[in-house]
Structure 1
Amino acid sequence: MRLLLQTSSRTKLFSYLLTLFILFIPNKNSGQTVQGDIIGIGVSHTIQSAILNEERTIWVHVPETRSDSNEAFPVVYLLDGDSHFTSVVGTIQELSARGNSILPKMIVVGILNTDRLRDLTPKHGNSENGPNTSGGGEAFMDFIQKELISFVGKTYKTKPYRLYIGHSLGGLTVINTMLKRPELFNSYIALDPSLWWSDSVMLEEVKMILNNKNLSNETLFVGIANSMPSGVTLATVEQDTSKQTQHIRDILEFTNKVVPHSSSQIKFNSNYYPNESHGSLPLIATYDALRFIFSWYNLNQNIISLIINPNVTASTVIKTLKNHYEIVSYKMNYTILPPESLVNQFGYACLRRKLYDKAEAFFKLNVKNYPNNSNVYDSLGDYYAEVNEKDKAVSMYQKALKTGKGNNYSRNKLNTLLLKEERSH
C-alpha cells in the first residue's frame, strides 16, 4: 500500500441537500483499507513493457465495494501519477461516495515516470532544448494502448469508459493522443498543456487534424493557468511576442480559436484560472473538468422533493430514477443501474419518514437490480420489520445470510426477531 493521503473538494448544493436528507442513515459499506494507523488508497504494480523495454510502475485505486459485489468501474488513466494520484483519487471519491452521485465511482491508474521527457513529447525538441531523449510519444502511446490498458482490464473489473488526464507535457500528450488515437479514451483533460513544445508543432498539427476528424463521441476540457509575467493581461498577451508568453498564447489560440472553429464536433470546454500558477492549477481544474465531463451524471435536485412529497406516488419516483440512469447509460455507452448504495439510502430516508410505499419500492428495486448482494435483502427485511410483517422480515434476513458471503448484521437482526417471537408466545 502506498500514497496514503486524501484531499477534499468543494461542495455543491445537491451534495449538501442530499447529505441532510440521508443524515444518520447507517452505512453498511466498509470504509477505507485500514492497517494500524495507515489508511491506504491504492496499490502498486510493476509491468514489464516490451514496447518500452523497461519496467513501468503504476499506482491503482479501486473504489470500495462490499465483499460480495461484482461491480466493475470506468477507468481514469493519470499521467505523472506520483504527483497527482492522491488529489485525483480524493476528488473522485468525494464526488462519487458518501451520498454524492455527481460522478461514477472510478478506478484511478497513476502512471509513474521513468523518462518523462521521452514519453510525454510527440516530437524531438529543437536545438534550444539541448541534447535530450525527447520525441518518444508514439512508443508511449503504443505502451498505453497495447500493454497498460490490457493489463488493467485483465487485473481489475473494468467498464469500457476511459478518461485520460495530463498536466504540462502530460497535457500535451493527452491532446496528441486525442488527435492521433481518439478511440483510446472517451474523455480527455489537458491541464495547462505545453503546446509550445518543439516550436509549437502540435498546435500546427491540431489545425489540420481537427478539421479532418469527427470527434463527436469525445470530450475535452482544458485548464489554463496564469503564467503571464507582471504587466501582461489576457487583453494584451496575444500581441506579446516574447518567449515568456508563448506557453499561454499557444493554449489561448488552441482554446479560443482552433477548437471552437473546427469541424470536429468535439464536446469542449476550457477555463482560465487567474489565481492559479502552472503548478497549483491541477487540483482545482481537475475538479471543474470532471464536473463538466459528467454534467449529465448527477441526479436532478428535484428527485429529493419528489421523494419526500407525499402526493407523488412511488411509481412516479421510481420511473424518474430509471429514466435518469437510462440517459446516463446512453452517455457512458453501457448499462448503468441506479447505484445500490444510493437507492438504499433513499429507501431508509423514506422509512424514517414513514413513507412506506416509497421505502418498499426503493428496497425492491435494489433486490431486482442486485440479486447477488446480501445487503439488499437485509434492507428489505428492515422494511418488513418496521411495518410488522415479521414472517417476511425473517425470510429476507435468511435470504441475506444465504446470498454471497452473508453478513453478521443480518444474523443479529434475525436472532433478535426470532427471540422476540419466542417470548411473545
Structure 2
Amino acid sequence: MLKTVLLTACLLTPPAVFAAETLKPGAGEPIQFGTSYVLESKLLSEKRRINILLPASYGTGDQRYPVLYLIDGGVKEDWFHIAGLVQLGDMNGVTKEVILVGIEGTDRKRDLTSPSQDPLDIKELPTHGGADNFRRFLASELKPYIDRNFRTTAETGVIGESLAGLFIVETFLRQPELFTHYIAVSPSMWWNKEALSYQAADLLKAQKPATRSLHLSIGNEGGGMRGGLDRLMAALKAAPPAGLTWDFQDFPGERHHSIYHPAALPALRAAFPGPNPIK
C-alpha cells in the first residue's frame, strides 16, 4: 500500500523545481543563419534587404559557386524554409553547393505581378503591375552586386511559391536568359484571368536555344490555378524550346500553404544535382 502511494505521488508531482534550477536561461547567444545586407535600389526607389547564405566551404579556397535567388527571401518570409534545404543538401551531397540570395519583399503584390485587366485583380491588389521593374532590378542591380562581391559562376537559379511562382514562370517565358534554372511552386496562374498561360505557346516559340531547366509543381488546387498551369504544360509538351529540361510534380495531398517544402526538395535536387544525388 505504501509503495503504491509513493509511486502515485512521484507520477503526479511535476519536476518544476528541478527544471527551473537546471534550465534557467541566462544571457544566451544569438543563432546566426546567413548574413543580411541592405542594397539601395535606384530602379525601385527604395532600400532592399538581401540575405545571403554562403556554402560551408566558401572560406577555404577560391572556388566559385552557382547562385540561387529566393523570391520572398526575408527572415519573416521563406528564408529559413529554403536556407535549411540548401544547407542540408550541401551537407549530404544531394545538391551541389550554392550561394543562396534571399530577396526580402516590401510590396510583393506590386513586384510579382504584371498589369491586369481583371477588375477583381485591380480591386484586391491595387498596387499591382510592377513585375517588369522588379525584373530590371534583378538583372541590372542585384545580380551585378552579387557577382561583384562574391565568387560566383554563370549558373543561376530562382525559386518561389504562389505569386513568386507566377513571377518566375513569367520571367522564364519573357526573359529566359535571366536565370539558368527556374523553380515555380504552385504558381498563381489564375492572375489576369490566366492570361499568361494563353500567351505561353507564342512566348516559347520566340525563345532561342539554350541550356536551362524549369521545375513546376502544384498542390490540390483547381480553378484557374490548375487550369493555367495545365495550359502552360500543354504548350511545353507541344513545342519545348531547344535545350530546355523541364518537369512537373503533382502533390494532391498538399494544400497551397503546405506544398513549399515537399515541392522545393525534389526541385532543388533536380536543378542542382550534387556529387551524391538521389537516384
Asked whether 1:46 is paired with 2:23, we answer: no
Partner secondary structure for residue 222 of structure 1: strand
2:148 to 136, 154, 161: 154
1:199 to 193, 199, 202: 193
Equivalent residue number for residue 128 of structure 1: 120
- TM-superposed deviation, 1:87: 1.7
Note if contact 2:49-2:104 (Cα within 8 Å) is conserved in structure 1.
yes
2:237 to 240, 260, 276: 260
Asked whether 1:166 is paired with 2:160, we answer: yes
Alpha carbons of 1:260 and 1:66: their partners in 2 closer, same or farther (altered >3 Å)?
A: closer
Gaps of 5+ in 1: 1-34, 229-244, 302-425
Q: CA separation in 1, counterparts of 2:190 and 2:83? A: 29
Cα deviation, 1:260-317, whole Å, max 9, x if unaligned, reads: 112413211001101111111111111010122234x43489xxxxxxxxxxxxxxxx
Equivalent residue number for residue 412 of structure 1: none
Question: TM-score, structure 1 length as denominator?
Answer: 0.55
State the aligned residue count: 247
- TM-superposed deviation, 1:125: 5.2
Gaps of 5+ in 2: 1-26
Note if contact 1:214-1:263 (Cα within 8 Å) is conserved in structure 2.
no
Equivalent residue number for residue 275 of structure 1: 253
Alpha carbons of 1:94 and 1:201: their partners in 2 closer, same or farther (altered >3 Å)?
A: same
Partner secondary structure for residue 114 of structure 2: coil
Q: CA separation in 2, counterparts of 1:224 and 1:68? A: 39
Note if contact 2:93-2:277 (Cα within 8 Å) is conserved in structure 1.
no
Note if contact 2:198-2:231 (Cα within 8 Å) is conserved in structure 1.
no
Cα deviation, 1:135-167, whole Å, max 9, x if unaligned, reads: 111110000000000111122221221001111
Decide which structure has greater strand share: 2
Partner secondary structure for residue 237 of structure 2: coil
Asked whether 1:290 is paired with 2:268, we answer: yes
1:227 to 221, 225, 228: 221
Aligned AA for 2:118? N
Q: CA separation in 1, counterparts of 2:186 and 2:46? A: 29
Alpha carbons of 1:125 and 1:166: their partners in 2 closer, same or farther (altered >3 Å)?
A: farther
Equivalent residue number for residue 357 of structure 1: none
Q: CA separation in 1, counterparts of 2:176 and 2:128? A: 23
CA root-mean-square deviation: 2.0
1:211 to 202, 205, 210: 205
- TM-superposed deviation, 1:215: 4.6
Alpha carbons of 1:197 and 1:152: their partners in 2 closer, same or farther (altered >3 Å)?
A: same
Cα deviation, 1:12-49, whole Å, max 9, x if unaligned, reads: xxxxxxxxxxxxxxxxxxxxxxx953331111111111
- TM-superposed deviation, 1:53: 0.9
Partner secondary structure for residue 164 of structure 1: strand
Q: CA separation in 2, counterparts of 1:218 and 1:61? A: 23
- TM-superposed deviation, 1:58: 1.1
1:251 to 202, 213, 229: 229
Aligned AA for 1:219? S
Asked whether 1:111 is paired with 2:88, we answer: no
2:49 to 49, 57, 68: 57
Equivalent residue number for residue 333 of structure 1: none
Q: CA separation in 1, counterparts of 2:231 and 2:200? A: 11
Note if contact 2:64-2:152 (Cα within 8 Å) is conserved in structure 1.
yes
Equivalent residue number for residue 419 of structure 1: none
Alpha carbons of 1:192 and 1:96: their partners in 2 closer, same or farther (altered >3 Å)?
A: same
Greater length-normalized contact order (CA 8 Å, ≥ 6 residues apart): 2
Note if contact 1:216-1:267 (Cα within 8 Å) is conserved in structure 2.
no
Partner secondary structure for residue 259 of structure 1: helix
Aligned AA for 1:120? L
Q: CA separation in 1, counterparts of 2:277 and 2:128? A: 47
Asked whether 1:90 is paired with 2:84, we answer: yes
Note if contact 1:182-1:215 (Cα within 8 Å) is conserved in structure 2.
no
Larger Rg: 1 or 2?
A: 1
**Equivalent residue runs for 1:13-24 within 5 Å:** none
- TM-superposed deviation, 1:203: 0.8
Question: TM-score, structure 2 length as denominator?
Answer: 0.83
Partner secondary structure for residue 118 of structure 1: helix
- TM-superposed deviation, 1:218: 1.2
Cα deviation, 1:385-416, whole Å, max 9, x if unaligned, reads: xxxxxxxxxxxxxxxxxxxxxxxxxxxxxxxx
- TM-superposed deviation, 1:62: 0.9
Percent identity at matched positions?
28
- TM-superposed deviation, 1:246: 1.8
- TM-superposed deviation, 1:253: 2.5
Alpha carbons of 1:178 and 1:300: their partners in 2 closer, same or farther (altered >3 Å)?
A: closer
Aligned AA for 1:150? P
**Equivalent residue runs for 1:256-405 within 5 Å:** 257-265=234-242, 266-295=244-273, 297-299=274-276
